[in-house]
Each structure stands twice: as structure tokens, then as C-alpha cells.
């Protein structure tokens, strides 16, 4: 959206997760990214959010732009009384910071943000990403809602006047649910859209490839594969979407950006990830990869490769519950000149006394510095007892991880919904972790049978998509 002194574009909200829920409120965390002109006119940047029915239209917004001329007095507490979120960014220094106080009116409560990142792009604009924005919306979790936000900036360090305004930004939640995947064998994506409301929903979607494999939608770097494509879903109905994926994007996940064009959610958008199956030859073929806690302070990480081609090294990485992956060691390839057609065995003893869940993965690095990641394995902490650990539980993404006991064994697994219908089933599972994906909102029962002993374990899984 072009304005008098700036351009604001590529506004994306993603990674929405539920923190807590009550009969009247839903507390979430999410990440937001946007681009804005990198100049002195954007010393302070602000974002305010409302439920659609509470939106005051302070900037007299039409098609994303204010219809007021010149600089505009900043909104104060009386204007923001129904805003459930207020974010402030101090952009005056080399590194931006999050404001704890709202300069135009100190009585306005400010939202907390875990961290902020700024990257100056080749076109001279700046890309801002805010991680872990905490907000409490005045509705129960799972309620179909539309959020409307204003983003404005001031060229004054006191922030008393708005000089750049992007208004009426809309985001929808729980109007539709979407599941899908990318089949690299056919080079096609397929998905199912479910309408969770009693009215017909129309809209369009765009397809982007996750070219850097980071699982995070970035409009400035991820490749646009398919431009606006219309869809219609009948009340409480479903519709199927599909399309080709270029061979150049084989094995890449895709992001599907949905925008609704009818109903109260008209103009609102959301991002969905479709996971790709793996088809292209990989530089390293893993025979096995396991992580096993051997004591209160030690975890044994072990992997075997069947083939290696131009392989340089392996980095053992772990995530101890902070959603941050850290490299704990780098092990050079045992293959001669990086090439092998024989089974090679690698082990590493990690000094790990974490009392919670720790995830491990292997980052494989080619001789030409290209990188690929293994599957993820998880181990429990010494403080966690019981045969099965499910996390996150409740889950707001439709995905959960299951961790079994750290011992050898084969499991038969079934997942049933509230009506007793089996929705997923696995036989002969001999790894210590599995991931269950694409679950819709509801309560499920996980039943695990250890084939060697016949012993059974059961756990409840709660899915609360927001």
C-alpha cells in the first residue's frame, strides 16, 4: 500500500499458537513480518488490532489507505479502548527494539514481543519480523473471527503524528480449515478446504515454494508458483484444490496463502503449509537415526548411513524446548573423499541433563556447502515418567509428537476420534518417536500396543485450532 512517505507491503501473520483458553478469552502467540520503506520517516512504528466489530476506523480507511490528508494525530487511549493488542517499535537505532510504553499516551497497555529482527533488502526497503507476539482476544478459542489491524509510523521520535498509514489489515481464523500435501512423484499439490461456517465462502489462493527449506513463509524470498486462483466452498462443505509444481521445486514444501472475498471475513488472509514427499536422490541415505537417554546426564545419538555422495560432515543439533536449534558438535564424514556405498556408523554422547523433552536432528553438509536435515528424534528428561509423552498437548496446529520409552521394541498404534472411529493407524513402528499431522479440532484417544509384550498404553490428545 503506497502512502505519502512510505510503502508497507508483504504483511504476513503465521505460526499462530494457543497459549491459554477460557470461556471468554483466547491467548495466542504469533509471528508477523512486513516490509516498510527504510528511511527517517519511520522512526517509530505501531500496530493496533481489534475484532472486526470493534474496529473504530480511526484513519478513515479505504482500500488499505487513510483518506485523511497530511500528518494525522496519533490515536490515544480513548481511540484504542477496544484494541486487544498494541505493539510499538523503536526504529531510531541500528537495531530496532520493542517499546514498553506508548509515546502518544502512556496509559495505553503495550503487548509483549519475544524478539524482533530487521533486514535491509536490496530495493532499499526493510523487512521486519516480530517473533512471539502475545495477544489475548476477547473470544473463546476456536471461534470464527476476523481481526482488523492498523499499522502506522511516525517520522517524529515523540510519535505524536502518523505520517505513514497502512490500515484495515485483515486476518481470519477458523472460518476454513485446510489440509494438503505435495506429491513430488507426480509434481502436483492437492488439498481439501473445509468451510466451518453456515455461509458460502469465496476467495482466492496463491502458491509459494519454500525455496530455502526453513518452513517459514517469506514473500520476499519464497518463489511464487501460482498467482490468484479462485475457490468456493458451500456451507459446512468441502472443496478440493490442486495444481502442478515445477520440477525445479521438487522436494520443497509449499505455502498456500488464502484470502477470503465474501462474508464478514472478506479481505482476510492466512497461510497454510503443504508438506512435500521426498523423491529426488539425496546426498546421504540414512539407514537409521536414533537418540536414546542412557542416564540422567547423557543422551546417545547414533546414526548409520547406507550411501554418501560428496558428503563433508554432520552437525548434531538439539532443541531443548525453546524452539531454538543449537549445534552441539560437528562430525566429519567417515567416507573416503565424501563418497561411500557401505554402511557407516556414527555415534555421539551428548551431555544433557534437561528434565524436559529434547529434540535432536542431523544437519548434513555437502562438500559444496549445501545442507539437508534428517528427521527429528526426541528423548524425555529424567523427570518425566510414564510410557508415552505427547507434545504439544493441547495442540493448536493439528500436529503432535509422540515419544515412546527409550528402549527397543515394536509398536502397533491407533488413533480414534470421539465417536470411536479409527482416523489413523500404524503397524510395526520401531522408532522411539512419531509425528501425527493434519488433525482437526477435537479429542482423540491414542492406543499403543507393544508387540513383544502385549502391553497397552493410552493417552488423550486435544486439538484446538485457532
CA-wise closest residue to 52 among 31, 14, 83: 83
Alpha carbon distances (Å) from 274 to 255, 271, 312, 437: 6, 10, 30, 11
Between 154 and 94, the more confident residue is 154
User: Across the strands, what pairs with 444?
Assistant: 461
Q: What stretch of H or E contains 268? A: none
The verdict on pTM exceeding 0.85 is no
pLDDT at residue 5 greater than cutoff 60? no
pLDDT at residue 271 greater than cutoff 90? no
Distance of alpha carbon 87 from alpha carbon 65, whole angstroms: 20
Which range (19-23, 36-40, 347-351) has the least confidence? 36-40
Cell numbers found for residue 68: 485523511
Helix (H, G, I), strand (E, B) or coil at 310: coil
pLDDT at residue 430 greater than cutoff 80? no
| pLDDT range class, residue 315, cuts 50, 70, 90 | very high
Give the whole-number percent of the chain exceeding pLDDT 90.
Answer: 38
For residues 143-170, average pLDDT? 89
For residue range 109-126, list pLDDT tens digits in order. Answer: 999 999 998 888 767 788
| pLDDT range class, residue 322, cuts 50, 70, 90 | low
DSSP string of 411-447, one letter each residue? EEEEEE-TTS-EEEEEEEE-SSEEEE--PPSEEEEEE
Helix (H, G, I), strand (E, B) or coil at 249: helix
DSSP 307: E
pLDDT value of position 1: 32
Helix (H, G, I), strand (E, B) or coil at 19: strand
For residue range 374-426, list pLDDT tens digits in order. Answer: 877 888 776 655 567 787 778 888 888 887 765 556 788 899 988 888 888 88
Q: Which pairs with CB-CB distance under 8 Å and at least 24 residues apart come from 104-111?
A: 104/74, 104/75, 104/76, 104/159, 104/160, 105/74, 105/76, 105/77, 107/77, 108/76, 108/77, 108/80, 110/86, 111/85, 111/86, 111/87, 111/135
For residue range 175-199, list pLDDT tens digits in order. Answer: 888 888 898 778 899 999 999 888 8
User: Across the strands, what pairs with 224?
Assistant: 208
Distance of alpha carbon 148 from alpha carbon 94, whole angstroms: 30
- 86 touches 110 (CB < 8 A): yes
Strands (E), 8-104: 8-21, 26-37, 44-51, 61-62, 65-66, 72-73, 85-90, 97-98
- 10 touches 220 (CB < 8 A): yes
For residues 67-81, average pLDDT? 92
Distance of alpha carbon 458 from alpha carbon 382, whole angstroms: 21
Angle at 332 between CA 327 and CA 337, to 5 degrees: 145
Number of residues written out for the chain:
466
For residue range 221-244, list pLDDT tens digits in order. Answer: 788 999 999 999 999 999 999 999
Mean pLDDT rounded to a whole number for the chain: 86
pLDDT at residue 466 greater than cutoff 70? no
Amino acid at each position: 500500500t503506497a502512502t505519502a512517505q512510505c510503502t508497507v507491503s508483504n504483511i504476513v501473520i503465521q505460526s499462530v499458537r494457543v497459549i491459554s483458553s477460557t470461556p471468554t478469552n483466547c491467548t495466542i502467540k504469533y509471528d508477523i513480518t512486513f516490509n516498510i520503506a527504510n528511511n527517517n520517516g519511520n522512526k517509530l512504528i505501531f500496530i493496533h488490532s481489534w475484532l472486526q466489530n470493534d474496529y473504530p476506523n480511526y484513519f478513515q480507511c479505504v482500500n488499505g489507505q487513510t483518506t485523511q490528508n497530511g500528518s494525522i494525530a496519533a490515536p490515544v487511549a480513548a481511540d484504542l479502548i477496544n484494541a486487544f493488542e498494541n505493539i510499538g517499535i523503536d526504529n531510531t537505532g541500528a537495531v530496532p527494539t520493542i517499546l514498553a510504553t506508548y509515546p502518544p499516551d502512556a496509559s495505553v497497555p503495550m503487548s509483549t514481543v519475544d524478539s524482533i529482527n530487521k533486514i535491509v533488502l536490496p530495493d532499499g526497503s526493510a523487512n521486519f519480523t516480530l517473533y512471539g507476539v502475545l495477544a489475548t482476544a476477547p473470544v473463546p478459542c476456536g471461534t470464527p473471527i476476523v481481526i482488523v489491524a492498523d499499522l502506522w509510523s511516525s517520522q517524529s521520535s515523540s510519535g505524536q503524528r502518523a505520517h505513514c498509514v497502512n490500515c484495515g489489515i485483515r486476518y481470519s481464523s477458523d472460518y476454513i480449515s485446510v489440509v494438503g500435501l505435495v506429491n513430488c512423484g507426480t509434481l502436483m499439490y492437492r488439498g481439501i478446504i473445509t468451510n466451518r461456517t453456515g455461509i458460502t465462502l469465496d476467495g482466492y489462493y496463491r502458491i509459494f515454494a519454500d525455496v530455502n527449506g526453513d518452513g517459514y513463509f517469506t514473500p520476499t524470498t519464497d518463489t511464487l508458483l501460482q498467482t490468484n486462483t479462485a475457490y468456493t466452498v458451500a456451507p459446512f462443505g468441502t472443496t478440493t484444490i490442486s495444481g502442478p509444481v515445477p520440477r525445479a521445486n521438487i522436494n520443497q514444501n509449499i505455502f498456500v496463502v488464502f484470502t477470503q472475498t465474501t462474508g464478514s471475513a472478506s479481505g482476510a488472509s492466512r497461510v497454510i503449509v503443504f508438506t512435500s514427499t521426498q523423491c529426488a536422490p539425496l546426498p546421504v541415505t540414512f539407514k537409521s537415526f536414533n537418540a536414546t537417554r542412557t542416564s540422567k546426564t547423557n543422551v546417545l545419538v547414533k546414526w548409520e548411513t547406507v550411501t554418501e555422495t560428496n558428503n563433508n560432515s554432520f552437525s548434531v543439533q538439539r532443541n531443548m524446548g525453546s524452539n531454538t536449534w543449537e549445534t552441539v558438535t560437528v562430525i566429519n564424514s567417515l567416507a573416503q573423499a565424501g563418497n561411500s556405498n557401505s554402511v557407516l556408523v556414527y555415534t555421539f554422547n551428548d551431555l544433557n541433563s534437561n528434565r524436559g523433552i529434547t529434540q535432536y536432528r542431523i544437519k548434513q553438509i555437502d562438500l559444496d556447502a549445501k545442507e539437508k536435515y534428517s528427521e527429528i528424534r526426541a528423548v524425555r528428561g529424567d523427570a518425566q515418567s510414564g510410557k508415552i509423552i505427547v507434545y504439544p498437548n493441547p495442540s493448536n496446529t493439528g500436529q503432535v509428537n509422540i515419544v515412546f520409552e527409550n528402549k527397543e521394541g515394536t509398536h502397533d498404534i491407533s488413533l480414534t476420534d470421539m465417536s470411536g472411529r479409527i482416523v489413523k493407524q500404524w503397524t510395526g513402528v520401531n522408532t522411539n518417536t512419531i509425528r501425527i499431522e493434519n488433525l482437526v479440532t477435537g479429542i482423540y484417544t491414542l492406543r499403543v500396543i507393544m508387540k513383544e509384550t502385549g502391553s497397552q498404553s493410552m493417552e488423550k490428545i486435544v486439538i484446538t485450532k485457532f
